[in-house]
Structure 1
Amino acid sequence: MAAVSIAIVGRDDKPVYCNEFPTKYHWEANSGTMGRWEDELFGLEHLSEKDGQFTEDDFDCSLKQQFILHAALDRFVQLAGPPPGFGWRSPGVVGVDAYFVGLLCPVEDYRVYGYVTSTKLKIIVVVEDDEMIPYSEQPAVDDRIKALMAKIHKSYVEYTLNPFNQIEGTPIKSKTFKSKVERDVEAFNRALS
């Protein structure tokens, strides 16, 4: 099980951050460039401007991941939207447990999880579906996903506290924010592999 992509969606349902994290399946051995996407939606490829090859700096969300994230956002709006929204939240829950929505929906070979803050910022994480995880161990996996989302939320808060960053309605371009998220995702993926 590994985190495949992450999106942060503002309170107006506009994405402010979207990134895909290639798993071992996606990277060609020793080349450092993106290989062909065998399972790309409609056979389309996500190409960069450099010789039709990806580098890590160019990597964004593929069309397939964008579709998955949009489908999950629809489900998110159903669960956390206007009344009777927030029905997933147990009464009296505080802290990270109050923000974690949990599994939004399974899509193909992925599971999509959600997290919503008190300011209606939504964090969506897509992870590979590992059918080998016993049902009894699923709460531990959910706790790790919840911890990953809390770290991403913390990084976002740190990003917004910088007075030089524009935060309203603009995509996040900060290299510091991106590197923090990538580091957290790498640690998450290593812990679950």
Structure 2
Amino acid sequence: MIVCVSVVGHQNNPLYLQSFTEADDALKLHHVVHCSLDVIDERVNNPKKTGLTLNETFLGLLYPTENYKVYGYLTNTKVKFILVTTDVDVRDADVRNFFRRFHSAYVDAVSNPFHVPGKKITSRSFAERVSTIVKSFGLGGAV
């Protein structure tokens, strides 16, 4: 189950964070997302150590915690997507598919002529599209 998705700008400024839990875990999820930025920087700055190629956008499992697994994705413009899930057994193919669809939704949202680059994403249609992508996570079907 996906707990949280986040978009972080190239200067590590939060652009979007949506939580999908019933509990009031927003502060904890902000902390998890913030901690994952260090791991992303480590992987991007030391590609030989992590085995990452320069054109690879999917960063894979960033780190597991006691309750969550955190996955990362880096766009060509250095915008970071972070996925926090509670599932123990998540297939990389499902996560890659999620990020591909999430990236497409992001591109559509920032292509809006009324969106100011580098500012928070406040589009209601983007939030609804993200919710739809999250609901279909792991089902294998494209929406």
Find the structure with the greater CA-based Rg: 1
Q: Which has the higher strand share?
A: 2
Q: Could you tell me which residue of structure 1 aligns to residue 31 of structure 2? A: 67
Q: TM-score, normalised by structure 2?
A: 0.87
Checking the alignment, whether the CA contact within 8 Å between 1:88 and 1:101 is kept in structure 2 is no
* Candidates 85, 110, 130, aligned match of 1:181: 130
Q: Distance in 1 between matches of 2:30 and 2:51?
A: 25
Q: Distance in 2 between matches of 1:147 and 1:171?
A: 24
* Candidates 45, 52, 72, aligned match of 1:89: 52
Q: TM-score, normalised by structure 1?
A: 0.66
Q: Any idea what the Cα deviations from partners look like across 1:17-42, whole Å, max 9, x if unmatched?
A: 001112xxx3xxxxxxxxxx4xxxxx
Deviation, 1:85, is 4.2
SS at match of 2:98: helix
Which amino acid in the other structure matches residue 70 of structure 1?
A: H
Alignment RMSD: 2.0
* Candidates 124, 142, 145, aligned match of 2:92: 142
Which amino acid in the other structure matches residue 19 of structure 2?
A: E
Which amino acid in the other structure matches residue 120 of structure 1?
A: K
Q: Distance in 1 between matches of 2:100 and 2:80?
A: 12
Q: Distance in 2 between matches of 1:163 and 1:179?
A: 19
Deviation, 1:171, is 0.8
Which 5+ residue runs of structure 1 have no aligned equivalent?
Answer: 27-36, 38-45, 47-60
Q: Any idea what the Cα deviations from partners look like across 1:60-103, whole Å, max 9, x if unmatched?
A: x611111111111111111113xx34754247xx6xxx210000
Identity fraction in percent: 30
Which amino acid in the other structure matches residue 119 of structure 1?
A: T
Q: Distance in 1 between matches of 2:125 and 2:44?
A: 30
**What stretches of structure 1 move > 4 A for 4+ residues in a row?**
none
The alignment of Structure 1 onto Structure 2 pairs a total of residues equal to 139
* Candidates 92, 110, 117, aligned match of 1:167: 117
Q: Distance in 1 between matches of 2:123 and 2:80?
A: 19
